Structure 1
Amino acid sequence: MPDYVKVMRDGEVAIITLDNPPVNAMSHHLREPLFAALKQARDDDAVKAVVIACAGRTFVSGADITEFNTPKALAEPSLRDLCALLDAFPKPTVAAIHGTAFGGGLELALSCHYRVAVKSAQIGLPEVKLGLLPGAGGTARLPRLTGPVEALKIVSSGNPVAADKAAKLGIVDEVTDGDLAEAAIAFARGKIGTPLAPVSGRSDRIADVDMAAFDAASAEVARKARGLDAPVKCAEAVRNAITMDFDAALKRERELFIELVQGTQSKAQRHLFFAQREAAKVEGVGKEIEARPVKRVGVIGAGTMGGGIAMSFVNGGIPVTLLEMNREALDRGLATIAKNYEISVSRGSMTTEAKDQRLAAFKPTTDYADLAECDLIIEAVYEEMGVKKEVFGKLETVAKPGAILATNTSYLDVNEIAASTARPRDVVGLHFFSPANVMKLLEIVRGNRTAPDVLATALALARKIGKVPVVVGVCHGFVGNRMLSSRSAENEDLLMEGADPAQIDKVFTDFGWPMGPFAMGDLAGLDIGWRNRKALGKTAPIADALCEQGRFGQKTGKGFYIYEEGSRAPKTDPEVSKLIEETARAKGVNRRAISDEEITERTLYPLINEGARILEEGIAARASDIDIVWTNGYGFPIGKGGPMFYADTVGVKTIVERLDHWHGKTGKEVYKPAALLRKIAEADGSFSASKKTG
């Protein structure tokens, strides 16, 4: 059996070291020997103080979420038992923090009398990102150190806090630049014989609280939650720390935790957590495949997309050669990049020095020859196959051997682009989402001849620049945009049959989407979809008519909605209502009242249906990969887990029945259930249980 807990002595100080690789998660097999070691140190008269430290690269990173909903989660001793033991400890206890003390790790540290951290350490309570709240006293103890408003920020956001800031907030008692063990032992020795004040017994930071300020902060949390339960429950739990005694607040925290852990939202968010890990596993790209070194990236195109891609790499510490066709376009792109960084400085999220360093990492050029030094070159030019091939033809002559050539295409055939070069093994699709410096998703498009080490490099780079990568196959629109097309096909028909843009958008936002499809189209620019439809020989009568009138959305002040100058708030436009009615009449459509339920079924179920087809064809390896694409790139509500997870919660059989209903009424292919969807329904199964992986 591994030795998960080791105990050493330095004079009167016992050092209890936890060693549960890779991140010292608070698994039951760690809790049990730790509880025993603490009791032994408590009862040993020769021990006058205790330091809890961790081996490896980090302090306790949190609970072991693989134990959730298993007997091990309830097995004694629980983390709450450990925290209670430390609360009542008769000798000074010090947590020695390096790496990260997250979740249950921070709760363990908060139960100690004191905390010493290295300067590089981070602390946090990220449970809210799994649809949960701290379940072992985090919401009851933290406000006693920081005050309730600061505690609410930490608990409801789940974001990490650096050691220096944690010290200013009162969470950490000492930050050291030196040897952590020595500093923690010295700190503990200095507390021997002094009066002990467990965090649970401190009340000065929760006395005479400005409740109006706390209520305002709680209201802001609820506003940003957009239907998620966990942030709101976090605010309730922190409030309890102010209004209840410690034991009552602790009891209520546990009740709230159980409510959340058993709820669909947390199950959805935990599904996404594991789905992201699974997405990193790519067939044919094992640990033995080494990524190519990338010391400089070239980006072709300094427009909105190209500039955002370039910023992503610079932000990740990789210098960029930025190419444009002429100096005017190049200067315009650089000015936009500089403006974006200035905004970050004005918000306090970046220092002027950091801004200057990042701007210095850009090498602007109008000469393709300057791309010769780049290890990866990404084109972000106009979405037209001829233009893409022309660019790759030029790259053929300047890119050095072994350089990766990437296309940022949203729809086009990566295999056709790769075939236009003499090095198809070096070609890959890197589909960033706009704005590229903000959006997390990166669809890595694997061509038929893309080399495994190219994929390994793309995956490693994605993580380095803070993206969530998903490897997908080649088809028109790949995973995300292909599914989006199946949803968008019904939007116009719903309008002509009797709905209006505001009703449809409200159905979407009520479901949990950040925006409805028409407001989103206005934001992105209706001309983008118009150009794509024309290239494919497709039409959308209402959207096309708006574009023909120069109504491209917010940038022109008019689209599906009208926008007053200086405002992004959409307002219903009678002219659009008139256009919809006239178009319906011209096509012989009798308009009628359309229910919100019908809108949901006719937009969401075809989306799921197309996802099933994508799995059948092997374009996506797993249903969970599709969920990662849609929650990270398209705003699918994380509390519903992505379209395929949501299908499981509704019931695949129910979805097939409704698709059959609409297919019978309309005859449209978009409603014809995919073979995989019907197979799962007939087996009364689910996507999560399906063995189909493409």
Structure 2
Amino acid sequence: MSAIQFEKNADNIVILTLDSPNQSANTMNADFRAALAETVEKLKADEQIAGIIFCSAKKTFFAGGDLDELIQVQPEQASDFFQMVEGMKAQLRYIETRGIPVVAALNGTALGGGWELALGCHHRIALNDPKTRFGLPEVTLGLLPGGGGIVRMVRLLGLQTAFPFLIEGKQFGVEKALSLGLIHDTADSADEMLQKAINWIQAHPKSQQPFDVKGYKIPGGDPKHPAVAQMLAIAPAILRDKTKGCYPAPEAIMSAAVEGAQVDVDTALTIESRYFTYLATGQVSKNMIGTFWHGLNAIKSGASRPQNIPQWQAKKVGILGAGMMGAGIAYAAAIKGIAVILKDVAIENAEKGKAYSQKLLDKKVAQGRMTAEKRDQILARITPTASTADLAGCDLIIEAVFENQQLKAQVTQEAEGYLTADGVMASNTSTLPISGLAQAAKDQSRFIGLHFFSPVDKMQLVEIIKGQNTNRETVAKAYDFVQQIGKTPIVVNDSRGFFTSRVFGTFVQEGLRMLAEGIHPAKIEMAALKAGMPVGPLAIQDEVSLTLSEHVAAETRKALQAEGKERPRSGADEVIETMIHQFNRKGKAAGAGFYDYPEGGKKSLWEGLSYWKKEQTVDEQELIDRFLFVQSLDTLRCLEEGVLESVVDGNVGSIFGIGFAPWTGGALQFLNQYGLKDALNRAQALEQRYGERFAPPQLLKDKVAQGEQI
């Protein structure tokens, strides 16, 4: 069956129905390309055609490019790939410039290549559906819109208006598309939409794109226009400040847009194809497609969930502790329709925790993103209380109290008896071993770790930690709950710090060690940003608070001593202790840490950090490598030790949990894309210079010897 069904009606209007075989959505795969070539030949052979309508047989209009194909394109195939892209664009351009009216009947979402196909039509009609999304999100996968999206968006909207949709990949709905003039009409049913398309064709027997009309001017002016030239003079610097040079796609998009705006449409399309080929054959797009598309889809489909266990839904969730984490979890559950009992020692604290949800929801109402009625419905699901008895009938209870083993044991014992017969008891600890916490529970098989990240309303990841005695049903229920509240689960085995907290600690500690070595703090922070981390280690340490880090280090040392092990002191420990006890600088919450926090002003690095300064020249790449390798090697150790059970969980968890450089595709993919043999050599060089934290795990040596990837 062809991916494009060709039908000509009695009025000589050709209806092209997109219907990719053996797929739930239409994509620009080999089937589509073959069908498009065949369709164009049929169109060329028929002079009587009065107009063309593109519509879809799927639930959505068109999903975009075939990422399974794109991830495989190698640099040596660049020429063939470029010719293939150019050939497909030429066929679409033939349809666009034939002179007869072409209409896109958009029955649902059109993203990436699907939106580009729609932009190649003269008239666009969409079904009225608030769930429909349009846009060009290719940049989020390290690519650019290679099917004419840059060229047409720039010509229809102007450079300045088009940039956020191209460079940031912003998606938009039907209403926004109407206001931008990108959608021309709407319909309430597929039949009405088709009739409107036919009517428009009959009313416009000759048609062409506005930008193909002689004398057409790009809205706002081309790059030579004074106002546009002024914007373009600073735009690359602003972009570089955001990307830190780690992401080639936004820069390639800006280049293709600006260069394309200075030439005719066909030349602009070729410029776009060249940049698209450069990105598609590059490593960064492969890293990002592998994790942000294939990896996330694997997790969504239950890759780490125990198999053959029925799906489960939480109906009533109890949360112990209404501080920032507990309040955030309450909001995440309530907004997804789950009844929440928010318990604290005092009703005032519990009410304050509920007020956090009120604040977030009020903001949505003020922005017009939610009705007041909907807000009130969500808030009504949260019951603040100081009474443990109110937890009766909960099928999941999550304790989110202070990181203290005795306190966590106490609240677990108080609450566990109120669970339903097959209910789950969970701890939102970030560092304490789950098997130790589970000892307070009557039934350890139904005890699990659910490590949320702060702020819960923004952070997508939840780390599910299996204790030694946690059963498979409990893991499956935890996985289902995390997905029920719209978050991304990864599953790890128990150990101190689990995966995310442990590896995140290596990043912050490396920054503190650099400071102890006398490296300028601004160089440390900038190297972390240039590595691709969202925030520098000193800024992060201030957010976490130095006193909390000192407390965790002391608790860890005590626990290890009880096991007959030692935690050697490092330069990082000395920096923390000096900051707290000598300089009384405890972090952002205390108003002073590695940064100064002037009231109403911008934070800046504290001048007193010169206490550690030594005159030395440091290679920035060396600092960047230290940040990336210290985390990647420890992630590999987690895999080797069985803390991590899958590479996918390691890559997704490192990006969404600890902010590991997204351009790499994750901490394990960083080593793959570096080249495992080169990574082994680099790790050994770093170990020789800085110590055993850079020692390559045996697993890395084995993979190099076997010629395999991680």
TM-score by length of 2: 0.87
Q: What is the alpha-carbon distance in structure 2 between the residues aligned to residue 438 and residue 670 of structure 1?
A: 32
Residue segments in structure 2 that go unaligned for 5+ positions in a row: 558-566
For the residue of structure 2 that corresponds to 1:243, the secondary structure is coil
- 2: CA distance between counterparts of 1:26 and 1:662? 45
Separation in 2, partners of 1:357, 1:425: 35
SS at match of 2:456: coil
Query: Which stretch shifts more, 6-15 or 471-480?
Result: 6-15
* Aligned: 1:184 with 2:184: no
2:328 corresponds, among 303, 308, 324, to 308
Task: Give the aligned residue type for 1:278.
Answer: A
Shift of 1:419: 4.4
2:672 to 626, 644, 648: 648
Q: Distance in 1 between matches of 2:123 and 2:35?
A: 22
> Is 1:391 the counterpart of 2:411 in the alignment?
yes
Q: Where does residue 18 of structure 1 map in the other structure?
A: 18
Q: 1:147 to 1:455 in 2, by over 3 A?
A: farther
> Where do 1:12-91 residues align within 5 Å?
12=11, 13-20=13-20, 21-41=23-43, 43-44=45-46, 47-68=49-70, 69-70=72-73, 79-91=88-100
Counterpart of 2:579?
546
**For 1:220 and 1:444, how far apart are their aligned partners in 2?**
38
Amino acid at match of 2:186: V
1:139 corresponds to which of 142, 150, 153: 150
The residue that corresponds to 1:243 in the other structure is: 262
Whether the 8 Å contact between 1:404 and 1:428 is mirrored in structure 2 is yes
Alignment-mate amino acid for residue 51 of structure 2: A
Cα deviation, 1:577-597, whole Å, max 9, x if unaligned, reads: 33x48xxxxxxxx99665444
Secondary structure of 2:604's counterpart equals coil
Greater shift in the superposed pair: 40-49 or 314-323: 40-49
Look up the match of 1:585: none
Instruction: Encode CA deviations 1:310-333: one digit per residue, 9 max, x unaligned.
Output: 222234343433222212212332
**Is 2:386 aligned against 1:366?**
yes
Aligned partner of 2:563 in structure 1 is none
After superposition, residues 457-536 of structure 1 pair within 5 angstroms as 457-536=477-556
Q: Is 1:257 equivalent to 2:276 in the alignment?
A: yes
Find the aligned partners of 1:591 and 1:493 in 2 and give their Cα distance.
16
SS in 1 for 2:208: coil
Q: Distance in 1 between matches of 2:33 and 2:271?
A: 23
What is the match of residue 242 of structure 2?
Answer: 224
Tell me, in whole angstroms, the C-alpha distance in 1 between the residues paired with 2:539 and 2:396: 36
Map of 2:641 onto structure 1: 617
Structure 2 match to 1:557? 591
Name the SS of the counterpart of 2:261 in structure 1: helix
| Deviation for aligned residue 1:222 | 4.6
| 8 A contact 1:42–1:91 mirrored in 2 | no
For the residues of structure 1 that align with 2:283 and 2:274, how far apart are their CA atoms?
A: 16
Q: Distance between the aligned counterparts of 1:112 and 1:217, measured in 2?
A: 30
Residues 413 and 476, structure 1, Cα contact 8 Å, conserved in 2: yes
Instruction: Find the counterpart in structure 1 of residue 114 from structure 2.
Output: 105
SS in structure 2 at match of 1:567:
coil
Check conservation: 2:85, 2:147, Cα contact below 8 A: no
Quickly say closer, same or farther: Cα 1:40–1:371, change in 2 above 3 A.
farther
Read off the aligned partner of 1:673 and give its amino acid letter: P
Of 230, 250, 272 in structure 1, the residue corresponding to residue 291 of structure 2 is 272
For residues 639 and 169 of structure 2, the distance between their equivalents in structure 1, rounded to whole angstroms, comes to 33
Q: CA deviation at 1:29?
A: 0.9
Pair 1:241–1:77, CA change in 2 (3 A): closer
CA distance in 1, matches of 2:174, 2:274: 31
Q: Contact conserved, 1:95 with 1:184, CA < 8 A, in 2?
A: no
1:460, distance to aligned residue in structure 2 (A): 4.1
Letter in 1 for 2:30: H
Change (3 A) 1:454 1:603: same
- Give the counterpart of 2:628 among 604, 607, 611: 604
CA distance 1:116–1:427, shift in 2 (3 Å) = farther
TM superposition shift of 1:344: 4.7
Contact 2:534-2:659 at 8 Å conserved across structures: yes
1:671 paired with 2:688, answer no
For 2:161, the aligned partner's letter is: E
Q: Does 1:6 align with 2:39?
A: no
Map of 1:587 onto structure 2: none
Which one is further off, 98-107 or 550-559? Answer: 550-559
- The residue type paired with residue 336 of structure 1 is Y
1:192 partner SS:
helix
Q: Report the residue type matching 2:264 in the other structure.
A: D
Residue 572 of structure 1 pairs with residue 585 of structure 2: no
Amino acid at match of 2:489: P
- Going from structure 1 to structure 2, the CA distance change for 1:93 and 1:288 (only over 3 Å counts) comes to farther
SS state at 2:402 partner: coil
1:405-456 alpha-carbon deviations (Å, 9 max, x no partner): 2221111222333343344343332211111111122212233444445444
| Residue identity in the other structure for 1:577 | S
Q: Is the 8 A contact 1:279 1:471 kept in 2?
A: no
Per the alignment, residue 206 of structure 1 pairs with: 219
| 1:206 counterpart SS class | coil
Change (3 A) 1:374 1:237: farther
SS of 2:271's equivalent in the other structure is helix
Q: How does 1:318-467 map to 2 (within 5 A)?
A: 318-344=338-364, 354-467=374-487
1:630 aligns with 2:654: yes
After TM superposition, the structure 1 stretch with the greater mean CA deviation from structure 2, 152-161 or 541-550, is 541-550
For 2:282, the aligned partner's letter is G
Greater shift after overlay, 281-290 or 540-549? Answer: 281-290
Which moved further from structure 2: 201-210 or 28-37? Answer: 201-210
| Residue aligned with 1:430, SS | strand
Give the secondary-structure state (helix, strand or coil) at the position aligned to 2:498: coil
Q: Given the superposition, is the C-alpha separation of residues 597 and 244 from structure 1 closer, same or farther in structure 2, using an over 3 Å criterion?
A: closer
Tell me the CA shift for residue 162 of structure 1: 0.5
Q: Secondary structure of the residue that 1:117 maps to in structure 2?
A: strand
Structure 1 letter corresponding to 2:587 = G
What SS does the aligned partner of 1:502 have?
helix
Structure 1 residue 393 displacement after superposition: 1.6
Aligned letter for 1:330?
A
Deviates more, 1:144-153 or 1:486-495: 486-495
Q: Which amino acid aligns with 1:512?
A: G
Q: Considering only aligned residues, what root-mean-square deviation do their CA atoms show, in Å? A: 3.0
CA distance in 1, matches of 2:535, 2:425: 34
Distance 2:317 2:276 in 1: 45
Quick one: distance in 2 between partners of 1:671 and 1:455?
A: 33
Q: Is the contact between residue 147 and residue 205 of structure 1 (CA under 8 Å) also seen in structure 2?
A: yes
Change (3 A) 1:455 1:47: farther
CA contact (8 A) 1:51 1:94 kept: yes
SS in structure 1 of the partner of residue 296 of structure 2: helix
- Deviation of residue 491 (structure 1)? 4.0
Q: Does the 8 Å contact 1:498/1:593 carry over to 2? A: no
Percentage of pairs with the same residue: 30
Q: Tell me if the contact between 1:61 and 1:100 (Cα under 8 Å) persists in the aligned partners.
A: yes
What are the superposed Cα offsets for residues 553-582 of structure 1, whole Å, 9 maximum, x if unpaired? 1222211233323335222332x433x48x
Aligned with 2:52: secondary structure?
Answer: strand
* Alpha-carbon distance, 1:457 to partner: 4.1
Shift of 1:9: 5.1
The residue type paired with residue 228 of structure 2 is M
Change (3 A) 1:372 1:495: same
Question: Contact 2:135–2:165 (CA<8 Å) still a contact in 1?
Answer: yes
Deviations 1:201-227 (A, max 9, x none): 253553646526853777655543343
- Closer/same/farther in 2, CA of residues 479 and 38 from structure 1, 3 Å limit: same
- The one-letter code of the counterpart of 1:233 is A
Q: How many angstroms apart in 1 are the aligned matches of 2:306 and 2:55? A: 34
Residue type at the aligned position of 1:180? A
Counterpart Cα distance in 2 of 1:198 and 1:591: 63
Shift in CA distance, 77/401, structure 1 to aligned 2, threshold 3 Å: farther
